[in-house]
Amino acid sequence: MTDRPVRLLWKPGTMLYPVPAVLISCGDMDGRMNLVTVAWTGTVCSDPPMCSISLRPERFSYSLIRENKEFAVNLTTAAMAVAVDWCGVKSGREVDKFKEMQLTPLRASQIRAPLVAESPINLECRVTEIRELGSHHLFLAEILAVQADPAFHRGKTGYFDLAAAAPICYCHGHYHRMGKQLGKFGFSVKKKRRRTRR
């Protein structure tokens, strides 16, 4: 083992970046509904398909999700960057975020919460557990359905070209557009084909 190179030593913190920047929609189509920008979200299980989000209890969306036990994760794109940031700064107690950001509420198939029509992918989620961890509470949820924009579906192959939608992520206070592809899953161990002579 080599000596550790000189590093900056900081106190413990949430420096796990980059992370997705998503819009969480909650409430219901017929009453109160809201959007909140969340970067603390992720996949937690594939069978059953599950994800999680972390929210501060003082956020307006927190009570809507806790009460209704459901929400939708709406992936975001470069074209939505202004709305994504704005929905994370403004409070749904004071403004209608769908209206102000000209986003379209879309009826879901399995939950009462609306989806965001402008998003390339929407995950319909039902809360299974809430863990009160400290500053944030963790909502664990089962993904009941996935809705996808057909504009990014590539024909007979069934491939969904999410990169073409220009998804964005959040990295230490800044939003970034997804960049150049570096490889495909398993590319590091894939054997190269030998050329046959003719």
| pLDDT over 70 (residue 1) | no
Please spell the DSSP secondary structure of 32-89, one letter per residue.
-EEEEEESSEEEEEETTEEEEEEE-TTSHHHHHHHHH-EEEEE--BGGGHHHHHHHHH
Q: What is the pLDDT of residues 123-169, one digit of tens each?
A: 999 999 999 999 999 999 999 999 999 999 998 888 999 999 999 99
| pTM > 0.75: yes or no | yes
| pLDDT over 90 (residue 72) | yes
128 Cβ contact list (under 8 Å, min separation 6): 50, 140, 141, 142
| pLDDT over 70 (residue 49) | yes
Identify the pLDDT of residue 2: 64
Q: Is 164 helix (H, G, I), strand (E, B) or coil?
A: helix
Dihedral over alpha carbons 138, 60, 33, 116 (to 10 degrees): -60
CATH number of 19-177: 2.30.110.10
Please, which pLDDT band fits residue 29 given cuts at 50, 70 and 90?
confident
Please, which pLDDT band fits residue 179 given cuts at 50, 70 and 90?
confident
Please, which pLDDT band fits residue 198 given cuts at 50, 70 and 90?
low
Identify the pLDDT of residue 140: 98
Average pLDDT over residues 52-81: 97
Average pLDDT over residues 18-44: 94
43-47-53 Cα angle (round to 5): 25
Identify the pLDDT of residue 28: 83
Q: What is the pLDDT of residues 82-100, one digit of tens each?
A: 999 999 999 999 999 999 9
The domain ranges of the chain are 19-177
Identify the pLDDT of residue 52: 98
- For the chain, give the mean pLDDT: 93
| pLDDT over 90 (residue 4) | no
Inter-residue contact 41 to 65 (CB < 8 Å): no
